[in-house]
Amino acid sequence: MSKKVMVAMSGGVDSSVAALILKEQGYDVVGVTMCFSLSRRQAEGPAGRRPACCGLEGIEDARRVARDIGIPHYVLNFARDMEETVVLDFVSEYLLGRTPNPCVRCNQYLKFGKLLQKSRALGMTKLATGHYARLEKEGRGYVLKKGVDPKKDQSYFLCLVRRKDLARVLFPLGRMTKEEVRRIALKRGLSVADKPGSQEICFVPGNDYRAFLRKRLNRACFRPGAITDMSGKVLGSHHGIFNYTVGQREGLGISASHPFYVVRLDEKENKVIVGPREALFSRGLTAVGPNWFCARCTQNFEKNKHVEAKIRYNQPQVPAKITRLTRTRLEVVFPEAQRAVTPGQFIVFYNNDLVLGGARIEQGKSDAS
Half-sphere exposure of 11 (CA within 13 A, CB side): 19
For residue 369, say whether it is annotated as part of any ligand binding site: no
Q: Is residue 123 annotated as involved in ligand binding? A: no
Please tell me whether 204 is known to bind a ligand.
no
Is 11 annotated as contributing to ligand binding? yes
Query: How many residues in total does the chain contain?
Result: 369
Q: How far apart are CA 259 and CA 279, in angstroms?
A: 12
Please give the Cα distance from 220 to 242 (Å, whole number): 12
Active-site entry in 53, 103, 159, 202: 202
Is 8 among the annotated ligand-binding positions? yes
Helix (H) or strand (E) holding 285: strand 281-292
Question: Is the separation of the CB atoms in 52 and 198 below 8 Å?
Answer: yes
C-alpha pair distances (Å), 126 with each of 141, 195, 364 = 14, 27, 39
Q: How many CA atoms lie within 13 A of 99 on its CB side?
A: 22
- Residues 67-89 as b/e (b if ≥16 CB within 10 A, e otherwise) read eebebebebeebbebbeebbbee
Is 147 annotated to bind a ligand? Reply is: no
For residues 36 and 82, the answer to whether their CB atoms sit within 8 Å is yes
Rounded to an integer, what distance in angstroms lies between the CA atom of residue 24 and that of residue 2?
12
Active site residue 202: yes
**Closest to 3 (Cα-Cα) out of 163, 128, 124, 99:** 124
Establish whether 29 is an annotated binding residue. no
Q: Does the annotation flag 10 for ligand binding? A: yes
Check 103, 106, 159, 297 and give the catalytic one: 106
Q: Is 106 a catalytic residue?
A: yes
For residue 39, the tally of other CB atoms under 10 A from its CB is 10
Q: Determine contact, residues 126/16, Cβ cutoff 8 Å.
A: no
Whether 89 has a binding-site annotation, put simply, is no
Has 366 been labeled as part of a binding site? no
- The number of beta carbons lying within 10 Å of the beta carbon of residue 23 is 18
SS3 state at 278: helix
| Angle at the Cα of 313 from the Cα atoms of 306 and 243, rounded to 5 degrees | 120
Return binding residues: 8-15, 34, 130
Residues placed in the known binding site for ATP: 8-15, 34, 130
Q: What residues are annotated to the active site? A: 106, 202
